[in-house]
């Protein structure tokens, strides 16, 4: 009897392993067939993004228009003040790392393990770009693996300024407002190239919560972040040489 039970368990484990490998193979095949052509972004601008399509779908599901504000601006047509504001607010080590802020990740893990703080995000601009272009806001482990692979590919195929250009053109900077050019025109009635330091700080401060944090918002947390970014910009004049 015991021998029969062992054989039954063995067959069950073998079946489970076979099914798992089959599912993994199908998943890998699907991903290979649908994997984005990252290298093409070195010279071609994206026609849409995963986040933009999600926004449109949400609006349609609510019975609302899916129109949005999105207008492309080349790198040299975006104010250096905005570039500096975004870098100090989101990823000041952008020009030094290879896609991942290792020290920031270590600090975040240390705060969680030693101080009991919630695990905070330590995503770089490259990681955020990968997520915006092709993925979802989910924290699913498989999604994080995809993000890591895409981040490595972005860093391998694109120059740093091109990554920053793409990022500044696809991020949401207000409800349904994507990219620096659309945001500058919507909030300040001017081009992204004409933004001054204070306006740049207001737009950069919107990045963590663009649905509620944006120029004109009365949120005290948003205003605090605007002031923080202004202070950091004043201390980070060295970035002018990099951008």
Over the stretch 14-56, which tens digit does the pLDDT of each residue have? 555 444 333 333 333 435 457 999 999 999 999 999 999 999 9
- Tell me the C-alpha to C-alpha distance, in Å, between residue 114 and each of 104, 122, 140, 160: 15, 17, 24, 34
pLDDT tens digits for 79-107?
A: 999 999 999 999 999 999 999 987 655 45
Q: Is residue 143 within a helix (H) or strand (E), and if so which, with residue range?
A: helix 141-157
pLDDT tens digits for 146-177?
A: 999 999 999 999 999 999 999 999 999 999 99
pLDDT band of 237, cuts 50, 70, 90: confident
How far apart are the C-alpha atoms of 88 and 198, rounded to whole Å?
14
3-class SS letters over 33-48:
HHCCCHHHHHCCCCCC
Q: Match 């004043």 to its residue by tokens.
A: 234
- Extract the tokens encoding 120: 């905070």
pTM for this one?
0.82
Crossing angle of helices 125-134/160-170, nearest 10°?
50
For the chain, the structural domain boundaries read 1-34, 35-241
**Which numeric CATH code is attached to 35-241?**
1.10.3810.10
Q: How many CB atoms sit inside 10 A of residue 159's CB? A: 10
**CA nearest 179: which of 162, 192, 190, 197?**
192
């Amino acid at each position: 009897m015991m021998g029969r039970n062992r054989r039954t368990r063995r067959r069950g484990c073998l079946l489970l392993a076979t099914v798992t490998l089959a599912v993994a193979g199908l998943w890998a095949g699907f991903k290979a067939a649908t994997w984005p052509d990252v290298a093409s972004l070195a010279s071609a601008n994206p026609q849409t993004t995963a986040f933009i399509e999600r926004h449109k779908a949400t609006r349609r599901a609510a019975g609302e228009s899916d129109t949005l504000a999105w207008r492309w601006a080349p790198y040299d047509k975006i104010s250096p003040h905005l570039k500096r504001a975004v870098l100090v607010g989101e990823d000041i080590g952008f020009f030094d790392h290879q896609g991942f802020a290792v020290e920031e990740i270590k600090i975040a893990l240390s705060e969680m393990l030693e101080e009991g703080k919630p695990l905070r995000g330590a995503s770089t601009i490259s990681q955020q770009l990968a997520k915006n272009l092709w993925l979802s806001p989910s924290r699913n482990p498989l999604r994080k693996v995809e993000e890591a692979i895409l981040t490595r590919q972005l860093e391998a195929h694109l120059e740093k300024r091109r990554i920053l250009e793409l990022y500044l053109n696809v991020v949401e900077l207000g409800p349904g407002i994507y990219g620096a050019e659309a945001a500058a025109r919507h909030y300040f009635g001017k081009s992204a190239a004409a933004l001054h330091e204070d306006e740049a700080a207001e737009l950069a401060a919107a990045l963590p919560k663009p649905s509620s944090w944006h120029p004109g918002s009365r949120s005290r947390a948003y205003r605090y972040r605007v002031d923080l970014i202004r202070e950091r910009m004043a201390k980070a004049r060295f970035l002018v040489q990099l951008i």
